[in-house]
Amino acid sequence: SGPRWLWRHFASPAFLRDIMAPVGVRPSVWARAPAPAPAQRASSHTSGSVPPGVARAAPQTGHSIHLQHLPYRVPSSRRRKRAVAIASFDDTAPAVTEPKPKLTVHYYRHAGDAATFGLHVWGTRVAHATSWDAPVGAAVPELTPGAAVSTEPTFVSFEVPLLDPSSDAFVAKTGDPSLSFIVHRGDEQCAKVENFLGDADHGDRAVWIVAGNPAVFSEPPDLSKLPTGETDLGKARAIWVSEGCFALPFSVDPSKVFVELVASSDGGLVITDNGAGGVVCENGGSDVRYIPLEIDSANWSSPDAGEAGDKYPHVRAAGYAIARLPAAYLEQNYAPWLLKCQLAVQAKDVTPDGRHGRLREATSVQTHGAVDDVFGGYAGPLGVEIKKPKNFGGFGDAESSVTIRLWAPTARDVSLRVFRGPDWGDHEFEVPMNETADGVWVVEGPAEWEGKYYQYVVDVFHPWGGGAAGSFVQSVASDPYARSLSADGQRVHICDLGNQNLKPAGWDDTARWKKTTNQSSEPTDYAIYELHVRDFSAMDESTPSDLRGKYLAFAEQGTVPTEHLKALAKSGLTHVHLLPSYDFGSVPERSEHQKTVDHAWLSSLPSNSPDQQAAVASIANDDAFNWGYDPVHYGVPEGSYATNPDGDARVLEFRTMVQGLAGLGLRTIVDVVYNHTLSAGPTDRNSVLDKVVPGYYHRRNFDGHYENSTCCNNTASENLMMERLIVDDLVHWAVSYKVDGFRFDLMGHLMLRTVVKARDAIKSLTVKRNGVDGSKIYLYGEGWDYAEVSGGRVGTNASQLNLGGTGIGSFNDRLREGVMGGSPFGDPRVQGVMTGLYFHPNNFMEQGGAEAQLKRVIEDSEKVIAAMAGNLREFEFTNKDGYPTPSRDACWVGSNVGYAAQPKETVNYVSAHDNETLFDGIMLRSAVDVPLDVRCRINRLAVATVAFSQGVPFFHAGDEILRSKSLDRDSYNSGDWFNRLDYTGNSHNFGCGLPGREKNGDRYGFIGDLLGDLTMKPDRSMIQKSTQHFKEVLEIRNSTPLFRLVDAADVQRRITFYNTGPSQTPGVIVMGISDDAVDGVTKQICGKFNRLLVCLNVSPHEVTITDPNLATDLATAEMIPHPTQGTMYLDDYLLGAKCTGGGVVVPGHTACVFVEPRA
């Protein structure tokens, strides 16, 4: 699936708007502040009214904007580190004849480089809003002629023309700031002030900003009295990396500078006198300690600091200095108390007489390293534990009980609110919890608690709790170890997963109901089908209406969708990979809260109309559809897929689904998204981890803000208890729900250590002890290496290049890009080896001349060659220049095309839920004159390439039925309408309207005509032919272990590629797989065939290959078409495929397999 930070996050207008929204707005599921003066919403109906056929949505209100310096947070505001946006509004000033008032921003930097910064400004009072790339430039004070040039830093100024609120040109917009600005240099942001002017402010205004100081001055400040460095407690630049070590972001000379830790048990830390007075506490009743920190001359060389540096290598690499907590504080075990306080570090000058002088630096503190050191070793139970002892020797049952545990070592107090039911009026009582030395809060109750619901009330310091640097808050929190929930995750349900009432019939006899599924422990024997729970049945009329889009649809016998899956399983499909089915927060779980669109009305609209997407977009956040990559509770099934989202129905029904799939002959893989959480902060309903231990579970940057490169709220598996949560959760799903595999979303953002621990924990599971066989559970994921984890910056991550030898799979995007062309970030019409590059250029954009395209075809063919050999790093073949080369150097030396150590570590695919479907991708790239039947052949050719490659084949649901999403490149929130799967073949989704404007609007210019051409819509016969072909290639793959080699050395021994080197015929790939001792094979593994010959011709013409090496290897072989070939999928092209005389004839756009039967 291409990197999913792709279009869904990074290349869409919505993402730009989201990440660039003012950073001081409190998040609500990351409630985003609207972009300044936004244009008409791209996805809204042009008239502003609700389109026909749409359930009217509730009116939306704007978000309030807060006054804020970038490093500063005002009360009830949360600063989140995000990139800042290009203002998406018209930059043409209205005609105003009278002189405009202006705002002058004076800006100073101690480094003297203020003039290299610009001012990005937006808001209703701004006469000329700027784009991010074209900020207001700085005006440097002019020198008096003959005056000496000063080398001292000076203020520069930015002038911003304003609109007078009394003028006709001024238009107030609800939710927009009056005026906000950011001082920045490229992506480096220094200062931000939000919603600065009121409508009553007339005339000229001026402010003074000093870099690193959170104050906004209304007159020139006395620089001699201000700190010389950063003094923003809204940033947490100091990092407590281990119990005894603090990493400081500034260099310290102990003879000149005094550093101390400031701790307040009740918060209220501020910097007085604009920084001149240092850090003090405003809360009179707080216990405040000033603890001197000792600068360690050994720095990172001392053992404990070295260990911390190994754990957080980016901190060490950044040159942070190590300061130590005095030994006396360690001996008296001060760390647990300190971790419950608000903390800051300040550095002051040492005066000649040894006193503390002027403040230099001040910052808040990140504490995750110390939390790990002091409390991270806890290995006991968490969440709900229900004890139901058996009868002891006839003396009666021991007393049953319910124990609830929460790991929250930084909390001052935790209590448990108990509810008798899931509704708001069901509150029953609240009980205090007791803390253990492990930082675990515990409460024990009677057996009658089972079936009730609960929440935690956590009293803890939170950096987003309000004020300039956070405050203590009482957050109403859920349980990270929840196992059942009320609707929408409002409360945790006390539930015994071992209760027989929550198990479908025969659930505990796993071997019996899984006996018809694939029994192999070798992932290369698997064939995976990626499917969304709702897509499977939501629009299927053969499924009972109350089960459409639900877990139970998979257990309904005789429906069109289940019969379709059963037929695929019979042909060789082994696993269904379900998109997220844990509790996510992007869909209302109660059906009565889900809005709908009239599909009959949508069907009546033109095939390239914008009205369908407008209608879908108007309810997109309130309907029943979302991909679900928005985790809230990792360990609970999603409630919207259950017939009742309250309580344990979701538990029973998920298990019924897994058992139902097994009855079809299929094992279940679930999508897991441990790289981020939907929300964070102390108040949002969907914030779970961050309410319990604020700042711990999420990865923080050097300013203490949460990284958001995965989309939002990146988690930090380098921290021990986040790692433990991941491992515990995986084992829970394996044991409690008997799933057979895990697909990791953005796995490269997790530490390799974490994923390997998870692998080991899962592989240790046995049927006798755990009821499941862990050796048959496969782990794979997206091994993309980017953003803050790139190159091992924060630790060795689970990226493609690091996974070799672990047995953990990763998606092979090299095959997708070679076959399809381009990348998820570029023009979708860029062609690849199977979509017309060189052989049938589309001329939609500049792709180079014939020579350049030929070069690319040959290079990209090497990506296909590497993939067909399992994408093994060391597999050697003859490259385009005629030299033996390992796949890691395919295309060019150092390309890292091949990266796996074993075939099972490669997941080959050409399409997935991300980006366009396979059919849509081919439609976008094909030249105008390519007929529809040829486009369908290319679809089948791409599917065959995946099926005939070594490694683990992965198919997107609908590849076999020419699935279309009407060219939608990112259908994560496009509703049932655009995501429809019709296994009957009676309909096809190509041309069901222009796809969502928000993600696809920039393409409307070239996709509108294509969607309007209904001759490009496949008919039922084309769909059926594609389905039969899919079954056929599965059966061919499943017919011999030669397609499913398990060892890299065996792949090298058995596989040879022909038609390579400088004299190759471009566009034809010929792969031989031997089971013959004459080829050096030491062990026969196939009882049917002595050898195979796989031929792919991506060109439109029939091609004859006469390779001397091929002729030699086939000298005594009698090759025939594979016995299954052409028996299920009748293809006249195959009649022209021949293998005689040591050569092969391959028809255009064809994949074929020849075999030498055993005598």
598 classed as catalytic: no
695-723 b/e with 16+ CB inside 10 Å = b? bbbbbbbbbbbbbbbbbbbbbbbbbbbbb
DSSP labels, 805-837 = TS--EEEEHHHHHHHH-S-TTS-TT---TTTTT
What is the rounded CA–CA span in Å between residue 537 and residue 546? 11
DSSP labels, 400-467 = PEEEEEEE-TTEEEEEEEEESSSSGGGEEEEEE-EE-TTSEEEEEEEGGGTT-EEEEEEEEEETTSST
HEC assignment per residue over 1011-1078: HHCHHHCCCHHHHHHHHHHHHHHHHHHHCCHHHCCCCHHHHHHHEEEECCCCCCCCCEEEEEEECCHH
Tokens of 20: 């660039």
Which DSSP category does 629 fall into?
-
What is the rounded CA–CA span in Å between residue 615 and residue 519? 46
Angle at 135 between CA 132 and CA 140, to 5 degrees: 155
By the 8 A CB rule, do 954 and 530 touch? yes
Tokens of 645: 């989202």
Tokens of 1000: 């696809």
Q: How far are the Cα atoms of 4, 691, 793, 798, 802 from residue 785, in angstroms, in the given order? A: 12, 29, 10, 8, 10
Choice among 194, 522, 745, 1156 that is catalytic: 745
Nearest of 1067, 1133, 1077, 674 to residue 840 by alpha carbon? 1067
Nearest of 3, 13, 29 to residue 626 by alpha carbon? 29
Residue with tokens 């679930």: 670
Backbone φ and ψ for 367, nearest 5 degrees, come out as: -120, 5
Residue with tokens 């796995």: 747
3-state secondary structure of 225: helix
Nearest of 1154, 815, 1076 to residue 955 by alpha carbon? 815
745 classed as catalytic: yes
Residue with tokens 């928000």: 998
**Cβ-count burial of 336 within 10 angstroms (0-12 exposed, 13-18 middle, 19+ buried)?**
middle
What is the rounded CA–CA span in Å between residue 810 and residue 871? 11
What is the rounded CA–CA span in Å between residue 1127 and residue 684? 58
What is the rounded CA–CA span in Å between residue 819 and residue 807? 26
Tokens of 290: 């000033």
Choice among 479, 684, 782, 905 that is catalytic: 782
Residue with tokens 């209100």: 61
CA 977 from centre of chain: 24
What is the rounded CA–CA span in Å between residue 230 and residue 360? 7
CA 578 from centre of chain: 16
Instruction: Return all residues near 484 (Cβ < 8 A) that are at least 6 apart.
Output: 492, 493, 494, 495, 497, 636, 647, 648, 650, 651
3-state secondary structure of 22: coil
Tokens of 462: 């939170």
Which DSSP category does 759 fall into?
H
Q: How far are the Cα atoms of 438, 469, 719, 721, 836 from residue 371, in angstroms, in the given order? A: 11, 20, 9, 9, 56
What is the rounded CA–CA span in Å between residue 13 and residue 998? 6
Catalytic positions: 745, 782
